[in-house]
Amino acid sequence: MYKAVFIDVDGTLIKSDHTVSEPTRQTIQKLLNKNILVVLVSARPIDGILSISKNIGTLDLPIASLNGGYIVLQNEVIFESSIDLETTALLHKQLMEQHVTLLYYRQRACFGEMMDIHVEKEQRVTKVPIIIQPFQETMDHWKKEQSGPNKILIISSPAAIQKIQKKLKGIYENELNICSSKPIYLEVMNAAASKANAVKFLLNKYHIKREEIIVIGDNFNDQEMIQFGGMGIAMGNAPDEVKAVADFVTDTNNNDGVHKAITKFIPLQA
């Protein structure tokens, strides 16, 4: 019997118009009525997830944001990891040699050095005010707080992202978690932060076994948690490499893939 369902947000739970379909919303409500844990696991910052969580009725349950780097339960932070400032400064120097857009996420804030079309879109979609200021000001602020970013988002062309990912993995393989969430996005976190590790953390917290969970996702940053899940499900719109590690491939996010996957494996009749 499945006791928990972990669901990615973009490309999985929500459609291309950023809404949750009514069949999917109703299916999640039925899971909750059966006391099945439903957790959203997303690359988004927490404030970019809360309205979606409210819509599907999971606000009182854990939310794993920033690819597992910041996990919140009812406004209480229950897990957090960050990139140390020395590594952050080195990464910034290395990346500024490329033609990229950089965003630095720390808890419920986001920092960037310049506003461009990528930053505008990220702010619009995630609904997080992005503070535009020189990188050194951001670093000075973090030094005073003795903190650092939970996630660095690199935005560039698909070809550039592939090259940067290969280069960074060669340098930081054991220190950072580096993964793509879409062709133009590269996500960089502390090695302790990943969607799979977020799932493992919450299984331990709720005393749930690996074989008792369903995991649903659509992209490369979901790949590890799909492999880990007792039932790992890839969306129909997922890349072939992600589908290859899944136990089952459902329909697309625009065609009720989450609803179809859940109702296939969990009986929800009244």
Instruction: Note the pLDDT tens digit of each residue in 187-209.
Output: 999 999 999 999 999 999 999 99
Sign of CA dihedral 46, 215, 240, 175: positive
Q: What is the model's pLDDT at position 126? A: 81
Contact 214, 261 (CB under 8 A): yes
Between 107-116, 119-128, 177-186, the lowest mean confidence (pLDDT) is in 119-128
Mean pLDDT rounded to a whole number for the chain: 95
pTM of the model: 0.94
Q: What is the model's pLDDT at position 241? A: 96
Confidence of residue 246 (pLDDT cuts 50, 70, 90): very high
Active site residue 8: yes
Q: How far apart are CA 246 and CA 54, in angstroms?
A: 28
pLDDT by residue (tens digit) across 73-107?
A: 998 999 999 999 999 999 999 998 888 999 999 99
Contact 268, 30 (CB under 8 A): yes
Residue 61 has pLDDT above 70, yes or no: yes
Contact 199, 212 (CB under 8 A): no
Residue 266 has pLDDT above 60, yes or no: yes
Q: Which long-range contacts (CB under 8 A, 24 or more apart) does 50-57 make?
A: 51/127, 52/9, 52/13, 52/14, 52/20, 55/20, 55/25, 56/13, 56/20, 56/24, 56/25, 56/28, 56/29, 57/28, 57/29, 57/32
Q: How far apart are CA 40 and CA 70, in angstroms?
A: 12
- Average pLDDT of the segment spanning 218-247: 97
Q: How far apart are CA 186 and CA 102, in angstroms?
A: 10
Catalytic residue of the set 8, 10, 218, 222 = 8
Q: What is the model's pLDDT at position 64? A: 98
Residue 270 has pLDDT above 70, yes or no: no
Radius of gyration of the chain (CA): 18
Q: Of 219 and 127, which is predicted with more confidence?
A: 219
Q: What is the model's pLDDT at position 128? A: 83
pLDDT by residue (tens digit) across 124-172?
A: 888 788 999 999 999 999 999 999 999 999 999 999 999 999 999 999 9
Q: What is the model's pLDDT at position 162? A: 95
